[in-house]
Amino acid sequence: MLFSSIPFLYYFLPLILAIYFLVPKRGKNLVLLIASLFFYFYGEPVYVLLMIGACVSSYIHGLLIHRFRGKPLSKVFLWSSIITSLAMLGFFKYSDFFLENLNAISGLDLPLLGLALPIGISFYTFQTLSYTVDVYRGDAQVQKNFISLATYVALFPQLIAGPIVRYTTVEEDLSGRTHSVEKFSAGISRFLIGLGKKVLIANQLGELCDIFRRSSDQSVLFFWLYAIGFSLHIYFDFSGYSDMAIGLGKLFGFRFLENFNYPFISKSISEFWRRWHMSLGSWFRDYVYIPLGGNRVSKGKWLRNILIVWLLTGFWHGAAWNFIIWGLFFGFFLVLEKFFLGAWLKKLPAFLSHIYVLFLVMISFVIFNASSMGQAFSDIGGLFGSGGLPMVSREALYQLRSFGWILVLALIGATPIPKLIVGKIKSHTTGHKILNLLEPVFLAGLLLVVTAYLVDGSFNPFLYFRF
């Protein structure tokens, strides 16, 4: 079930909200857990058992780590929890990748398993890992109530597309969260803004990318439209889902951390990754990079640590070589910035450093979205006219006219400009009152337009099937 779907918007969510606020406080986590398991069952009937298994494993391992704290067995159970979680992720997500590569290297013909990828497994696996590690470190109290821990792991607002919510972030909310009209209204506003970003911007850009892939009338202009369009598509799709998750969290009294902070205004790749998918970046920093030694080691080991983190970052996104190359691509430029380019970038005029970042990010997402490395190289070559491509084609001009307005809207929306304008208006008393009156009208209109798009059966892809 997708957030951007009629069943979720008009059946599932209103029903769950009604039940949730009718039951007493002690029953709210149970309502959320049942709702979350049903939400997952709706799309993954069999794999809901895998999720329940992940909850049980985390619960038992947490208790055992706590029970033997300060003794060797505590570390044994920590590693048992890590191996169990990674084994489930590896088996379901990466089995065929390793079998394909083993066959290619050895000449064997081992049959592939052909397993469907459980939706959201990359997200909830990292959440269970962070819980047991934090309990072992003493950063989190062990959760002795299974319902509360399972609610954290399975919580549907952030289940299928993040952000990666750590247990320490919601530890207090699981037992003592509060509700208010202000928090609820803020949650509705944030959810609808994210829904609009997903349906009205990301989906339209996704349709442009789909048209490009099906077209035989290619040109340099069309390749650039595709590359820019996909970069904006993945941003609005992912940040839109994060907005919806944060908004839904507010509806149920939870506080999720921000996941995006206008990454396209960055002036270095290092800054870009401080602003893009922040929950993933901080997770790898705290649970991989720092335990490896971070930057408090020799330069050789520091380089090793950076490359390990970015190899894993790429591999986390998908079981294919293009994801690994995508991660190492960023790792390479981060190393360059730390050792060579950093000081030079600070001296550049701001617009040149922005161009540097935007160009590299665009190239990275061309690699990210390719079905193979061969296609990635072909797409990158197409940006520069390889193979005698014409500069312009009839279809490229047609699609530019059709999608130009959404590209311009997306480019502006990816910057803080709209937020700054709203903030400027709200800084005046009259403007603040007018916006307060107009906001409900705007949000109601936004929901109406989104509903029209969804009822019409407009293009509505789910990017996270690959994760």
Q: Report the distance separating Cα 200 and Cα 454, nearest Å.
A: 10
Q: Please, what is the Cα angle at 267 between 381 and 298, to 5 degrees?
A: 90
Quick one: 268 and 402 in the same domain?
A: yes
pLDDT-derived band at 2, boundaries 50, 70, 90: confident
Q: 160 pLDDT band (50/70/90 cuts)?
A: confident
Residue 417 domain-assigned (yes or no)? yes
Any domain includes 465: no
Domain boundary among 143, 177, 211: 177
On whether both 159 and 260 belong to a single domain, the answer is no
Give the global pTM: 0.93
Nearest to 455 by CA among 464, 447, 445: 447
Residues 226 and 362 in one domain: yes
Are residue 159 and residue 10 in the same domain, yes or no? yes
- Say if residue 160 is in the same domain as residue 227: no
Residues 323, 359 within the same domain? yes
Mean pLDDT of 48-66: 95
CA-angle at 85, arms to 84 and 86, nearest 5°: 95
pLDDT value of position 467: 58
Residue 174: its pLDDT value, please?
92
How far is residue 218's CA from residue 141's CA, in Å, rounded to a whole number? 57
pLDDT score, position 45: 87
Average pLDDT of the residues in 212-241:
95
Same structural domain for residues 389 and 428?
Answer: yes
User: Does 467 fall in a domain?
Assistant: no
pLDDT digits (tens, 9 = 90+) for 304-337: 999 999 999 999 999 999 999 999 999 999 999 9
Q: Into how many domains does the chain fold?
A: 2
pLDDT, residue 83, reads 96
Q: CB atoms < 10 A from the CB of 211, how many?
A: 19
Among 134, 150, 177, which residue terminates a domain? Answer: 177
Instruction: Examine the domain organization and report whether 301 and 260 are in the same domain.
Output: yes
Query: 166 with 269, same domain?
Result: no
- Average pLDDT on 75-100 reads 95
Do residues 267 and 354 make contact, with C-beta atoms less than 8 angstroms apart? yes
The percentage of the chain sitting over the pLDDT mark of 90, rounded to a whole number, equals 79
161: confidence class by pLDDT, cuts 50, 70, 90? confident
Higher pLDDT, 230 or 42: 230
Task: Please state the rounded mean pLDDT for residues 270-280.
Answer: 95
Q: Tell me if 463 is assigned to some domain.
A: no
Same domain, 162 and 201: no
Amino acid 456: pLDDT:
80
Instruction: Answer yes or no: are the C-beta atoms of 160 and 119 closer than 8 Å.
Output: yes
Provide the annotated active-site residues: 317
Whether 114 is covered by a domain: the verdict is yes
Residue 451 has pLDDT above 90, yes or no: yes
Host domain of residue 74: 6-177
Tokens representing 421 are: 């304008």
State the pLDDT confidence band at 347, using cuts at 50, 70 and 90.
confident
Taking residues 298-307, what's their average pLDDT? 92
Residue 464 located in a structural domain: no
List, for residues 417-436, the tens digit of each pLDDT value. 999 999 999 888 888 888 88
Mean pLDDT of the chain, nearest integer = 93
Point out the domain boundary residue: 120, 152, 177.
Answer: 177
Residue 465 has pLDDT above 60, yes or no: no
Q: Tell which residue, 407, 453, 463, 396, has the closest CA to residue 211.
A: 396
* Tens of pLDDT, residues 116-154: 888 889 999 999 999 999 999 999 999 999 999 999 999
* pLDDT confidence of residue 290: 95
Q: Is residue 466 part of a domain?
A: no
Same structural domain for residues 83 and 201? no
Per DSSP, helices labelled H in 215-320 are 220-251, 269-275, 278-284, 299-317
**CB contact burial 248-257 (16+ within 10 A = b; e otherwise):** bbbbbbbebb
pLDDT score for 463? 67
**Is residue 461 situated within a structural domain?**
no
* Same-domain pairing of 150 and 197: no
Q: Which residues neighbour 228 within 8 Å (Cβ) at sequence distance 6 or greater? A: 362, 407
In the predicted structure, residue 343 carries a pLDDT above the cut 90 = no
